[in-house]
Amino acid sequence: NNNNNHSNNNNNNNKNEKKKEKNRPQEIANKLNAMMEKFRREAEEQDELLQILEESAKEKSEFGKIERSKHWSVHEVCWWLISIGMEEYIFLFYSHNIDGNMLLHDLSEASLLQDLSVKQIHSHKIMRAISELKK
């Protein structure tokens, strides 16, 4: 009888394992759908930001002028990132509210790497471009 109980427990464990395995594809699909939705929302937000930048650049003659870089808005900093080929970071700079003053006075290579997770090779380029703005 004890062996019979042991055998029943094994059968129940096997059934539970099979049930988990059966649900696994659905769990994975749900996680993938959630990730896709997050990426879709981020892409929409980035598209909206790009539209705002393009409109601002057209409407305001002073927009993004290097001479006034320390007075740049967050949008102008994003525009500048595009101009130096670092557009992959515009949303990051935007979400951290980095304006011209912060760009010129508060950003360091360490903060780019640690706070903003900029790739090291890109941090060098961004720091060189910031140096150019300071001239």
Q: Where are the domains of the chain?
A: 1-59, 61-135
CB 118 within 8 A of CB 110: no
pLDDT band at 1 (very low <50, low <70, confident <90, very high): low
CB 87 within 8 A of CB 75: no
Q: What pLDDT sits at residue 3? A: 54
- The tens digit of pLDDT for each residue in 16-64 reads 666 667 788 889 888 888 889 988 888 888 888 889 888 888 888 899 9
Taking alpha carbons only, the member of 114, 124, 71 closest to residue 92 is: 114
For the cut 80, the answer to whether the pLDDT of residue 70 exceeds it is yes
- CA gap 91, 77 in Å, rounded: 11
Q: What pLDDT sits at residue 54? A: 87
Q: Which CATH class is domain 61-135?
A: mainly alpha
DSSP 3-state helix, strand, coil percentages of the chain (rounded to 5)? Answer: 80, 0, 20
- CA gap 4, 59 in Å, rounded: 82
Whole-model pTM?
Answer: 0.70
Question: Which whole-number Å values give the CA distances from 94 to 20, 29, 49, in the listed order?
Answer: 43, 32, 9
Task: State CA 8 to chain mean position distance.
Answer: 51
